Amino acid sequence: MRFKKRREAFRAMLEGERCVHPASVFDPISARIAEDLGFEAGMFAGSVAALTVLGAPDHIVITMSEFADQCRRICRAGELPLMVDADHCYGNALNVMRTVEELETAGICGMSIEDTVLPMEYGSPREVTFTSVEEGVGKMNAAIDARRDTGLAIVGRTSAMWKSTTDDALERIMAYEKCGVDAIFLVGVKTREQLEAAANAVKLPLVIGGAGPEIMDLDYLSANNVRICLQGHQPIAAAYNAVYNTMKALREGTKPADLKGLPPGELTAAVKRNADYERWIDEFLGGK
């Protein structure tokens, strides 16, 4: 299978002994850069997808097909193992099954499914609420049933540790572990007490995002079964800031030759894979 090698690498990461920081990627170029820099994995978040595809905030207005299409573009660009935040999978357990089918064929290595009630509910649009544990379990079971390649990691996600209570979070992650998910994704763990409670409650590898500074130490995280720890999504912010500054300078009269911050030719050639295309031209188009 085309994606077998990268899925095996991602599984080895989850089953290993060390925590890693994935690269926050958003398109083929960012994924290639992450791969060239030696990142073990990439992370494509729902908020980043909304910004990349729609130029919109993270209000779940992106569609599943738009999300899957961007995943496919990222996975096609190289061999970087990609984990994605599939949000609530765009509906109920049947929608989860369809989402798994689309993302698996797109080439991802892992996907998180969360138990937040999404999209916003009328009357209380800014309140974070959660599905019942039973509905969450139904979604996890549906995801496991829908995948065809068992190398694809299904990750149960909750932000209950942050937006509800520790006890609620523990009940949820223990229920998801019983379903047979491959890892647990905890959002908003702020204290060592919270993390250690989760690490003691389940045996599965942990993924964390939005963590507090108190726990952001790779040795400590590794010792508490955290295998992937997100650092945020700064690369896309840096990218649009660079575009803004470049366009602003041009609009204000700066000559192209005087622009600051442009990449050297070697980097441009690397991210475009110029050497590969030159070789293919010679091999298949009689370039020599």
Per-residue pLDDT of the chain (288 residues; tens, 9 = 90+): 689 999 999 999 999 999 999 999 999 999 999 999 999 999 999 999 999 999 999 999 999 999 999 999 999 999 999 999 999 999 999 999 999 999 999 999 999 999 999 999 999 999 999 999 999 999 999 999 999 999 999 999 999 999 999 999 999 999 999 999 999 999 999 999 999 999 999 999 999 999 999 999 999 999 999 999 999 999 999 999 999 999 999 999 999 999 999 999 999 999 999 999 999 999 999 987
In whole angstroms, give the CA distance from residue 262 to residue 266. 12
Q: Token match 């925590």: residue? A: 19
CATH code: domain of residue 232:
3.20.20.60
Element of type H or E holding 209: strand 206-209
User: What phi and psi, each to the nearest 5 degrees, are found at residue 186?
Assistant: -110, 125
pTM (whole model) above 0.85: yes
Residue 260 lies in a domain: no
pLDDT tens for 250-259 read 999 999 999 9
Q: Do 74 and 27 form a contact (C-beta atoms < 8 A)?
A: yes
User: Total structural domains in the chain?
Assistant: 1
Residue 198 lies in a domain: yes
Question: Which one-letter amino acid corresponds to residue 133?
Answer: V
Residue 256 lies in a domain: no
Does the CA dihedral 28-34-37-40 come out positive or negative?
negative
Residue 243 lies in a domain: no
Nearest to 69 by CA among 107, 118, 23, 30: 107
Residue 288 lies in a domain: no
Domain of 34, in residue numbers: 4-238
Residue 151 lies in a domain: yes
Percent of the chain past pLDDT 90, that is, above it, reads: 99
Residue 81 lies in a domain: yes
Q: Name the packing angle between helices 133-146 and 166-179 (round to 10°).
A: 30
In whole angstroms, give the CA distance from residue 224 to residue 142. 29
Residue 95 lies in a domain: yes
In whole angstroms, give the CA distance from residue 139 to residue 10. 22
